[in-house]
C-alpha cells in the first residue's frame, strides 16, 4: 500500500470513527430513564465503543508497518473529547451543566438532552411524535442554531408550573442563553435575550 493510499484510508477510518461517536452521543443523550444503573450501563457502552473504535483505527495501518503506535483515539478530535466529557457529566450535578466551561467539548444538543431526561419534560422528538432514529437524523442534518430553536420551542410548550418543571426549564434556558451567546460570538454579532 502506498503512503498516499494509507493516509487516505486512515482519514476515512477517522471519519467513520467520528460519525460513530456522534451518533452514539446523540442516542445516549436521549436515553431514558437514566437512573444510576442506566448511567453505569452507558459508561460500560462508552468503554466498549472506545475499544471497538481503537480496533477500527488499526484498520488504517498498513500490514507490517514498522510503527507500532498506530492511530490514536485522540486523533479523532472533538468527537472523542465529547465522548470522554459525556462520561464525566453523567455523574455530575445537573446545575454544573449550566456552566459552559463544564460542557465545553459537548454538542449543545447533548447537554440540553441530558438536562431534560433528568426532569419531567418530554424531549423534542417526543413532543413532535418522531422516533428516536428520525430525531437523531434530524439533529445530524441541522445546525446547532436550528437545534437550539427546536429545543427551546419544545421546552416552552411544556411548562406547567410545577417546581420540578421550573428547575428543569430554568437550567435549559440558562444553557440556551450560553449557547446563543457562543454562536453570536462566533458569528461576530450580538445576542438577543
Nine cell digits for residue 106 = 459537548
- CA pair distance 114, 153, nearest whole angstrom: 17
| Cβ atoms < 10 Å from Cβ of 112 | 28
Nearest to 156 by CA among 175, 178, 172: 172
pLDDT computed for residue 1 by the predictor? 47
Could you tell me the pTM of the whole model?
A: 0.85
75-90, pLDDT tens digit by residue? 999 999 999 999 999 9
Q: How confident is the model at residue 134 (pLDDT cuts 50, 70, 90)?
A: very high
**Mean pLDDT, residues 175-181 taken together:** 91
Q: Which residues are CB-neighbours of 14 under 8 A, at least 6 positions away?
A: 57, 60, 71, 75, 76
136-168, pLDDT tens digit by residue? 999 999 999 999 999 999 998 787 767 777 888
Which of 24-28, 73-77, 118-122, 186-190 is predicted least confidently? 186-190
User: C-alpha 100: how far from its chain's center?
Assistant: 14
Amino acid at each position: 500500500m502506498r503512503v498516499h493510499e494509507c493516509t487516505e484510508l486512515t482519514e476515512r477510518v477517522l471519519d467513520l470513527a467520528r460519525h460513530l461517536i456522534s451518533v452514539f452521543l446523540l442516542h445516549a443523550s436521549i436515553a431514558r430513564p437514566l437512573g444510576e444503573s442506566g448511567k453505569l450501563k452507558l459508561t460500560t457502552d462508552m468503554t466498549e465503543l472506545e475499544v471497538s473504535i481503537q480496533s477500527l483505527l488499526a484498520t488504517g495501518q498498513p500490514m507490517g508497518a514498522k510503527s507500532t503506535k498506530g492511530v490514536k483515539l485522540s486523533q479523532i478530535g472533538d468527537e472523542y473529547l465529547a465522548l470522554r466529557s459525556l462520561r464525566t457529566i453523567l455523574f455530575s450535578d445537573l446545575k454544573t451543566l449550566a456552566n459552559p466551561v463544564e460542557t465545553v467539548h459537548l454538542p449543545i444538543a447533548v447537554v440540553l438532552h441530558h438536562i431534560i431526561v433528568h426532569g419531567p419534560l418530554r424531549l423534542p422528538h417526543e413532543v413532535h411524535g418522531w422516533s428516536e432514529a428520525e430525531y437523531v437524523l434530524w439533529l445530524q442534518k441541522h445546525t446547532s442554531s436550528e437545534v437550539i430553536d427546536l429545543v427551546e420551542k419544545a421546552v416552552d410548550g411544556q411548562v406547567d408550573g410545577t417546581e420540578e418543571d421550573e428547575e428543569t426549564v430554568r437550567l435549559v434556558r440558562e444553557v440556551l442563553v450560553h449557547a446563543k451567546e457562543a454562536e453570536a460570538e462566533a458569528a461576530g454579532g450580538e445576542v438577543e435575550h
